[in-house]
Amino acid sequence: MTAALRLTDLSKTFPVGKRLFGPPKGRVRAVRPVTLIVEHGETLGIVGESGCGKSTLARMLVGLIPPSTGTIAIDGRAFDNSDPAAFGKRVQYVFQDPISSLNPRKSIRQVMEAPLKHLHGMNRAERATRIAEIFDLVSLRQEFLERYPHEFSGGQAQRIGIARALAAEARILILDEPVSALDVSVQAQVLNLLNRLKTELGLTYVFISHDLAVIEAVSDRVVVLYFGSVVEVGPADAIFARPRHPYTQLLADSAPRVGRPLEAPEARETELPDPLNPPPGCPFTPRCPRATEICRAEDPPLEAKAPGQLAACHHPL
């Protein structure tokens, strides 16, 4: 059986300081070559801090950013977004900020009709029936259809965003921080809804978040990104309980937790390396308590360190 998504050496480099002629002044490697497989019906969590490239990766998966190198295959077929009408039926995207992903001058009905009209060519009556079905599925009331985005709270708007993604009937959903703009009580509602939809409709999720606890609660497998590279991949239940990469360990130790005394997990005052001028070797070296000479010289490859668990580290835990 083919994988839902197969990324091979996918990377993205942004030019910085573009000039009209000639090469740009610098390049930022937002995502270093990534090779990953997402199976059908799986939820792959991608976790990392700001600037780690997780949003760039997500946007490449739906063709909003063209990759610099590498390929993406969806259901075994090569990625092709030249025809937006065909592409939209294969992968859909749920945005981080639910309000700003809705055009302020369009009613919710217009928003919902767009994918049905342009992707599926439905007529008016068919669209109305389908919208009613979808709204039922995500527990939204029909009267919302005539309202405008500013009349909704974040949680409701995010349900609308999910409903729009469902309308395309794509089997793969890329969820880019779908709950980070929401309050905890509403966040739980949306996460539970996503879980239910996945089981009912047999969807495949790529779920991006900076929140470890959320990622753990929804994912089957987890990818940890640091500074544009995959530093660790593994099953959700193992990766935070028994991290192999020191960065994963640091992330797990930093999350504030009830019942744990307050202490800075890092003794040194550290910052991310300069993206315009990245250090050679493993980018985590300056912050890593286990770093040695080899870490400063060689970029460690992503290798299996435990069953199903891969880490890019010369000195894994």
Partner 1 sequence: MSFLRRLSRNRLGLLGLIVLFVVVLLALVTPILPLQDPNATETADRFLRPFSEGHLLGTDHLGRDLLSRLLWGTRLSLTVGFAAAVIAATIGAAIGIVAGYFGGTTDNVIMRGVDMLMAFPYILLALAIVAALGPGLLNALIAVAAVNVPFFARNIRGITVGLAHKEWVDAARLSGMGHARIILSEILPNVVPVIVIAMSTTVGWMILETAGLSFLGLGSQPPTADLGSMLGEARAALISAPHTSVVPGLMILIVVMSINLLGDGVRDALDPRLRSGALTRPRPATMVSRKSVPKGEGRGILALQDLETQFHVGRRVYRAVGGVSLHVEPGECLGIIGESGSGKSVTALSVMSLVASPPGVITGGAVRYRDRDLVGMRYLDLRHLRGDRIAYIFQDPLATLHPLYRVGDQLTEAIRVHHRVSGREAWDRAIDLLRQVRIPNAAERANSYPHEMSGGMRQRVGIAMALANDPDVIIADEPTTALDVTVQAQVLSILDDLRRDRGLAIVFITHDFGVVAQLCDRVAVMYAGKIVEQGPTHVVLNDPAHPYTRLLIQSVPELGQGRRDLVSISGLPPPVEDLPPGCAFAPRCPKCEPDCTVAPIPMLGSDHHAARCIHPETPLREAAE
Q: Per CB under 8 A, does 100 bind partner 1?
A: yes
> Is 268 exposed, middle or buried (CB count within 10 Å of its CB: 0-12, 13-18, 19+)?
exposed
Q: Which of 4, 74, 102, 122 binds partner 1 (CB under 8 A)?
A: 102
Q: Which residues pair with 166 in a beta bridge?
A: none
Tell me: does residue 201 bind partner 1 (CB under 8 A): no
Subset of 226-245 contacting partner 1 (CB under 8 A): 236-237, 240-241
Q: Which is nearer to partner 1, 39 or 220 (CB)?
A: 220
> Closer to partner 1 at the Cβ: 37 or 191?
191
Give the residue with the Cβ less far from partner 1, 274 or 307. 274
By CB under 8 A, residue 207 contacts partner 1? no
Q: Write the binding mask 35 to 64 for partner 1: x where contact by CB under 8 A, - elsewhere.
A: --------------xx--------x--x-x
Query: Does 192 participate in binding partner 1 (rule CB under 8 A)?
Result: yes
Size of the residue set binding partner 1 (CB under 8 A): 76
Residues numbered 251-270 forming contacts with partner 1, rule: CB under 8 A: 251-266, 269
Least gap, CB of 155 to partner 1 (angstroms)? 7
Nearer to partner 1, 111 or 312 (CB): 111
181 vs 311, which CB is nearer to partner 1? 181
Closer to partner 1 by CB, 221 or 305: give it: 221
- DSSP for the chain, please give it: ---SEEEEEEEEEEEES--SSS--SEEEEEEEEEEEEE-TT-EEEEE--TTSSHHHHHHHHTTSS--SEEEEEETTEEP--SSHHHHTTTEEEE-SSTTTTS-TTS-HHHHHHHHHHHHH---HHHHHHHHHHHHHHTT--GGGGGS-GGGS-HHHHHHHHHHHHHHTT-SEEEEESTTTTS-HHHHHHHHHHHHHHHHHHT-EEEEEES-HHHHHHH-SEEEEEETTEEEEEEEHHHHTTS-SSHHHHHHHHHS--TTS----S-SS---PPPTTSPPSS-TTGGG-TT--HHHHH-PPP-EEEETTEEE--SS--
Taking the complex as a whole, how short is the minimal distance between the CB of residue 18 and partner 1, in angstroms?
Answer: 9
- The reply on whether position 168 binds partner 1 by CB under 8 A is yes
Looking only at residues 8 through 27 of this chain, which bind partner 1 when binding is defined by CB under 8 A? 20
Judged by CB, which is closer to partner 1: 78, or 263?
A: 263
CB of 107 to partner 1, least distance (A): 12
